[in-house]
Structure 1
Amino acid sequence: MSNPWEEISLNDYENHMSLDSVKQLQIMNSIMKEQFEDYPVSTAMVLGVAGGNGLEHVSRDKYRTVYGVDINEDYLRIVSERYAHLSDVLKCLKIDLINDADQLPGVQLLIANLLIEYIGYDAFQRVVCKVNPEYVSSLIQINVDDKQWVSDSPYLHAFDGLDEVHHQMDEDSLLTKMQEIGYKDILQARIPLPNGKAFIRMDFQNGKMG
Structure 2
Amino acid sequence: MNNPWEEISLEDYENHMKLDSVRQLQAMNKIMKEQFEAYPVKTAMVFGVAGGNGLEHVRQEKYQAVYGIDINEGYLKAASERYAKLSEVLQFVRIDLLTEVDRLPKTELIIANLLIEYIGYQAFQRSICHVKPKFVSCVIQINTDDRQWVSDSPYIHAFDGLDSIHHQMEEAELAIAMKGIGYKEILRLEEKLPNGKALIRMDFCNGS
TM-score of the alignment, normalized to the shorter chain, above 0.5: yes
Q: How many residue pairs align between the two structures?
A: 208
- Superposed structure 1 runs of 4+ greater than 2 Å apart: none
Aligned to 1:36, the other structure's residue is in SS state helix
Shift of 1:146: 1.2
What is aligned with 1:137? 137
Shift of 1:145: 1.0
TM-score (normalizing by structure 1): 0.99
What is aligned with 1:69? 69
CA distances 1:71-115 after superposition (whole Å, capped 9, x unpaired): 000000001100000111000010000111111011000000000
Shift of 1:14: 0.2
What is aligned with 2:30? 30
What is aligned with 1:56? 56
Is 1:195 matched with 2:189?
A: no
Is 1:128 matched with 2:128?
A: yes
Equivalent-residue separation in structure 2 for 1:12 and 1:131 (angstroms): 31
Aligned to 1:29, the other structure's residue is in SS state helix
CA distances 1:180-210 after superposition (whole Å, capped 9, x unpaired): 00000000111110000001000000011xx
Aligned to 1:184, the other structure's residue is in SS state strand
TM-score (normalizing by structure 2): 0.99
Structure 1 counterpart of 2:165, one-letter code: V
CA distances 1:14-42 after superposition (whole Å, capped 9, x unpaired): 00000000000000000000000010000
What is aligned with 1:204? 204
Structure 2 counterpart of 1:102, one-letter code: D
Equivalent-residue separation in structure 2 for 1:34 and 1:64 (angstroms): 18
What is aligned with 1:86? 86
Equivalent-residue separation in structure 2 for 1:196 and 1:146 (angstroms): 8
Aligned to 1:142, the other structure's residue is in SS state strand
Structure 1 counterpart of 2:184, one-letter code: K
What is aligned with 1:164? 164
Gaps of 5+ in 1: none
CA distances 1:43-90 after superposition (whole Å, capped 9, x unpaired): 000000000000000000000000000000000000110000011100
Gaps of 5+ in 2: none
Aligned CA-pair RMSD: 0.4
